[in-house]
Amino acid sequence: MIEQKLDPLQAWKEVYEQTEKFWGKTLGETIKTEEYSAWMGSVLDLNLFYQKMMNDATKGYLEKVNIPTQEDIARVATLVINLENKVDNIEEFLEENTESLGQSPTIKRDVTKVKQDIRTLENKLDKILELLEGQNGILEKLQVPAVQAKPDNKK
């Protein structure tokens, strides 16, 4: 009589390979069906609908508590950038005209004052941007709990 030794690891490996082969084939065939594609489409539609509802609810909440949305911050940032461009254009214009008009003390004093005013405006714009970025951070922190609280609807 031949003694056969039972190896639990080998037995487990064989069961695993057979199970994986069976389920791999079964799931491969299922994924190729039209019904599976339709089901996945409906799951995607449901997720998109849920995301839209969450976005709308968050936007409504933020409007009620008077916190700017990302669109508001982006709009203000665009206005700030446009204003900075205009300030740069004015500064270039003044520099060009100062050189062409000569170096009278009155013009120099006026140009210096305008430059100081421009720097003051730029500092104020930087502060506005910092405040907007801070509010954007608050907005993101408020949106994170809403995303974490989202229930998993897996089928």
Q: Which of 8-22, 53-67, 104-118, 125-139 has the lowest mean pLDDT?
A: 104-118
Could you report the per-residue pLDDT of 100-113, keeping only the tens digit for each? Answer: 666 667 777 888 89
Q: Please give the Cα distance from 67 to 69 (Å, whole number).
A: 7
Quickly count: other Cβ atoms within 10 Å of residue 62's Cβ: 19
Q: What is the DSSP letter of 151?
A: P
- Spatial distance between the Cα atoms of 88 and 125, rounded to a whole number of angstroms: 13
Average pLDDT over residues 130-147: 80
- What percent of the chain has pLDDT above 90? 47
**pLDDT computed for residue 100 by the predictor:** 66
pLDDT digits (tens, 9 = 90+) for 17-57: 999 999 999 999 999 999 999 999 999 999 999 999 999 99
Residue 76 C-beta-side C-alpha neighbours within 13 Å: 16
Single pTM value for the model: 0.40
Q: How many CB atoms lie within 10 A of CB 88?
A: 12
**pLDDT at position 155, please?**
45
Q: 75 and 68 in contact (C-beta within 8 Å)?
A: no
Q: What pLDDT is recorded for position 20?
A: 97
Length of the chain: 155
Cβ atoms of 97 and 145 within 8 Å: the answer is no
